[in-house]
Chains A and B, each alone.
Chain A
Amino acid sequence: MSALDWDRTETRVALRESLADMQARAGSGLLEHLIDAEIPWIGISTHDGGAGGDLGDAAIAVRTLATMELDAPIAETGLVCGWALASCGLQLERQLMAPAFELGTSLTGIAVDGVVRVSGHVDEVPGALAAQAIITTVEIDGVLQLCAVAIADAAVTSTVNLADESRCSLTYVSAPVVASAPLAAGLTRFDLLARLALARAIQSCGALTELRDLTIGYARTREQFGRPLSDLQVIAQMLAELAELTLSAQAAVAAAIERPGTWQSAIAKSVTGRAARRAAALAHQVHGAMGMSQEYPLGRLTTRLWSWTEEAGRPELWEAWIGEQFLLQSSPVLWDTVVNGVRGESA
């Protein structure tokens, strides 16, 4: 479509095609196929127990799966939890993992005879129904540790987001920690949340691209007043705005993948979230009543976009964080911060 449509390198186009093919063949058994193909562990080096490939490869998989009929912690396992474990020197188990990174949720831990046991409550955990372990931070003896805890040891209250994706509450009472390591130097809980935010931004980018194409397709074929909707200038202008929003999301996400870190992830979450809100509204307006039907695919995209925008820090949260980081500098200079970032974060 547009020359800027994100990431058209050959290997990544091939990955996208093989995922689409897998979906077509597997139907409801897609998750097993993805596991067989090691998709959840792409982007983590084989040395750390992953399937190899880089963040860009993982992003392509996550972005492609974002529009498929699947509720499983694929992005959460490798791109989010796998990265956190590898950052803290922990070996990756070949299991599905669910990040409990939302702020304000935390477990308390006590070490007894060398075994750490955790208690407490974590909310809004994505993918906990399919995963084997949650990855979260626990303060143990005054040190913040990254811990894996088995989901089988939790009392699980199942809830879902707007898109019917599992977002569970888990309660632990003196459950043993499976693996733990101190949070790597320079890493905070906020940085972990930012990684989840990046995953949501990548997913949103995939959904936005499909939302744009679906809406353009509908406007071309749906006829009213004796001509396609897209012949109406007001509709054509809405389609153009939809494309602009998609472009900005693609660019912000591409930058966050090229220069990973909390700064760019925050920017990507802000830009994709803002774009998603406006784009979802435009897409529904162009579709008219049809978009409200459960049978039609639009709602599957917009409900995801609405949820992903509010999860892992809504745009306003990340914008406030960016603004605060900027203003904390002595004599803050906007332009230099745009070019170089703050506190050693790369822009």
Chain B
Amino acid sequence: MTQLDHLRARVRAFLAEELAERRFTPHCDSWLVGNDRAFSRRLGAQHLIGLMLPTEFGGGGGGVADRLVVSEELLAAGAPVAAHWFAERQFAPSLLRHGTSAQQLEWLPRITGGEACIAIGLSEPDAGSDLAAVRTRAVASEGGWRITGTKIWTSGAHLADAMVVLARTGGERHAGLTQFIVRLPNPDVTVRPIRLISGEHHFNEVSFTEAFVPDADVLGEIGNGWTQAMQELAFERAGPERYLSTLPLLQAMVEGLGPQPADPGAVGRIIADISTFRVVNQRVIEHLAAGDTAAIDIAMLKSSATAFEQRSVAVALDLAADPGRVSPPSTEAATLLRESQFQAPGFTIRGGTNEVLRGIVSKGLLR
């Protein structure tokens, strides 16, 4: 057994116990909808968060491959990882790269312990795909900055301890943007729910009215926000959550399919596709870890993988209707199907639409 096999076995053992104790119910898109702080704390206690962070901060001191093994096992099981997901995925690497030692000492141990829930504030009402149109403004004030503006589609802001806000400190477009760590709740920050077509509340509109942020909570350099945000987006886009969001649904649908469905190829194609995205993902994160921006490859992975996720929901409908089934889909399968149908349009939008991603790809190809 390799070290990664051992790690995988540890995660599976942890998940098996969680499921045996009925501590969570598997969901599709669990990295977005499954906010469960107690789960994140238990995971942190097992040293399964921050595998690639330095040990001095409670991390595993390992490589990107370690984090990938843990991430993919958690997502495949539909475990509720949203409470620590954004903190571990993009806030932590950003802190390591750009944070002050005080910021690292404050946040990294909390992240590895599963205690930090972080929201990421990028999109605005007038800055969606065109992120450089950000208008939220930070104005220098005694000992810090005052932020005014509105962020939208912010996942989990209503549950977060802090929000990383990209705001304009001067300049035009990509220049003059800066990242701030805004602690929540805050009397000058209003978090309003945006209910999705499912009726569920995961996204928010977050308004800032001269909200004060001390200098100590500026993340990275003033004016370097665009570069930093793009680095974070690389981590956001290159992950197994781009092809495993519907795996709990697909697993539920193959149960009861029996050995001889009318269309076994539908299942075979899913296995072939996921296996291939895994290969691409492993290579992409190796490049990312080696300091390569890998922006084109990441964009290609996310675009093709999320298109697969969307198609997989259609396949789940086919599997549910397969005339060769030995038993109809379970109640759980029906629930997962319903949740996935509501979530599916977002797969190819969040984290950069596939059209934006293909724009990045074609620019790279034609350079």
13 pairs of residues in contact across A and B, judged by CB atoms under 8 Å: A4-B283, A236-B358, A236-B363, A239-B361, A252-B276, A255-B279, A267-B271, A318-B272, A320-B264, A322-B272, A327-B257, A334-B267, A334-B270
Q: Which residue of B lies closest to A239 (CB)?
A: B362
How long is the Cα–Cα vector from A174 to B276 in the complex, in angstroms? 46
Instruction: Select one of A236, A255, A323 contacting B271, CB under 8 A.
Output: A323
**Contact in complex: B362, A230 (CB < 8 Å):** yes
**Contact in complex: B300, A271 (CB < 8 Å):** no
How long is the Cα–Cα vector from A335 to B355 in the complex, in angstroms? 29
Q: Which residue of A lies closest to B302 (CB)?
A: A244
Instruction: Select one of A3, A320, A339, A347 contacting B268, CB under 8 A.
Output: A320
How long is the Cα–Cα vector from A244 to B275 in the complex, in angstroms? 15
- 3 closest A-B pairs by CB: A323-B264, A322-B268, A323-B268
**Contact in complex: B303, A3 (CB < 8 Å):** no
**Contact in complex: A338, B280 (CB < 8 Å):** no
Q: Which one of A243, A270, A328 has the greatest number of beta carbons of chain B within 10 Å?
A: A243
Q: Which residues of A contact B162 (CB under 8 A)?
A: none
A189 interface residue (CB < 8 Å to B): no
A248 interface residue (CB < 8 Å to B): yes
**Contact in complex: B267, A236 (CB < 8 Å):** no
**Contact in complex: A252, B361 (CB < 8 Å):** no
- Additional pairs, 5, CB under 8 Å, beyond known A2-B300, A244-B361: A236-B358, A239-B365, A322-B272, A323-B265, A335-B77
Q: Which residues of B contact A244 (CB under 8 A)?
A: 300, 303-304, 361
How long is the Cα–Cα vector from A239 to B263 in the complex, in angstroms? 32
**Interface residues as binary, A248-263 with B (CB distance below 8 Å gives 1, 0 otherwise):** 1001101100000000
Within 8 A of B (CB), among A63-96: none
How long is the Cα–Cα vector from A251 to B276 in the complex, in angstroms? 6
**Contact in complex: B366, A216 (CB < 8 Å):** yes
Q: Which residue of A lies closest to B284 (CB)?
A: A4
**Contact in complex: B358, A240 (CB < 8 Å):** yes
Within 8 A of B (CB), among A290-336: 315-316, 318-324, 326-328, 332-335
> Within the complex, what minimum Cβ distance (angstroms) separates B125 from chain A?
24
What total of chain B residues lie within 8 Å of the partner, measured CB to CB?
53
A220 interface residue (CB < 8 Å to B): yes
Q: Which residue of B lies closest to A321 (CB)?
A: B268
Q: Which residues of A contact B254 (CB under 8 A)?
A: 326-327, 332, 334
How long is the Cα–Cα vector from A236 to B284 in the complex, in angstroms? 23
Q: Which residues of B contact A334 (CB under 8 A)?
A: 247, 250-251, 254, 267, 270-271, 274
By a beta-carbon cutoff of 8 Å, the part of chain B in contact with chain A is: 8, 73, 76-77, 247, 250-251, 254, 257-261, 263-280, 283-284, 287, 292, 294, 296-297, 299-301, 303-304, 355, 357-359, 361-366
Given that A2-B297, A270-B269, A322-B268 are known contacts, is A333 also in contact with B251, CB under 8 Å in the complex?
A: yes
How long is the Cα–Cα vector from A337 to B274 in the complex, in angstroms? 11
**Contact in complex: A266, B303 (CB < 8 Å):** no
Instruction: Select one of A236, A335, A347 contacting B247, CB under 8 A.
Output: A335
**Contact in complex: A3, B276 (CB < 8 Å):** no
Q: Which residue of B lies closest to A315 (CB)?
A: B269
How long is the Cα–Cα vector from A37 to B300 in the complex, in angstroms? 38
Given that A237-B358, A248-B304, A251-B280 are known contacts, is A1 also in contact with B264, CB under 8 Å in the complex?
A: no
Within 8 A of B (CB), among A126-158: none
**Interface residues as binary, A174-212 with B (CB distance below 8 Å gives 1, 0 otherwise):** 000000000000000000000000000000000000000
Q: Which one of B260, B280, B355, B363 has the greatest number of beta carbons of chain A within 10 Å?
A: B280
**Contact in complex: B272, A271 (CB < 8 Å):** yes
How long is the Cα–Cα vector from A240 to B267 in the complex, in angstroms? 27
A241 interface residue (CB < 8 Å to B): yes
A247 interface residue (CB < 8 Å to B): yes
What total of chain A residues lie within 8 Å of the partner, measured CB to CB?
48
Q: Which residue of A lies closest to B250 (CB)?
A: A334
> Within the complex, what minimum Cβ distance (angstroms) separates B213 from chain A?
37
Q: Which residue of B lies closest to A5 (CB)?
A: B297
**Contact in complex: B278, A338 (CB < 8 Å):** yes
**Contact in complex: B261, A326 (CB < 8 Å):** no
**Contact in complex: A271, B355 (CB < 8 Å):** no
Given that A243-B300, A316-B265, A320-B264 are known contacts, is A4 also in contact with B280, CB under 8 Å in the complex?
A: yes
> Within the complex, what minimum Cβ distance (angstroms) separates B103 from chain A?
31
Q: Which residue of B lies closest to A242 (CB)?
A: B365
Q: Which residues of B contact A316 (CB under 8 A)?
A: 265
How long is the Cα–Cα vector from A128 to B336 in the complex, in angstroms? 53
How long is the Cα–Cα vector from A236 to B299 in the complex, in angstroms? 14
How long is the Cα–Cα vector from A316 to B272 in the complex, in angstroms? 11
> Within the complex, what minimum Cβ distance (angstroms) separates A193 from chain B?
16
Q: Which residues of A contact B265 (CB under 8 A)?
A: 316, 319-320, 322-323
**Contact in complex: A270, B272 (CB < 8 Å):** yes
How long is the Cα–Cα vector from A324 to B75 in the complex, in angstroms? 25
Q: Which residue of B lies closest to A325 (CB)?
A: B268
> Within the complex, what minimum Cβ distance (angstroms) separates A336 from chain B?
9
**Contact in complex: A335, B76 (CB < 8 Å):** yes
How long is the Cα–Cα vector from A16 to B359 in the complex, in angstroms? 31
> Within the complex, what minimum Cβ distance (angstroms) separates B285 from chain A?
12
Q: Which residue of A lies closest to B290 (CB)?
A: A3
Q: Which residues of A contact B269 (CB under 8 A)?
A: 270, 274, 315, 319, 322-323
> Within the complex, what minimum Cβ distance (angstroms) separates A220 from chain B?
6
**Contact in complex: A254, B365 (CB < 8 Å):** no
> Within the complex, what minimum Cβ distance (angstroms) separates A223 from chain B?
14
**Contact in complex: A322, B271 (CB < 8 Å):** yes
Q: Which residues of A contact B257 (CB under 8 A)?
A: 327
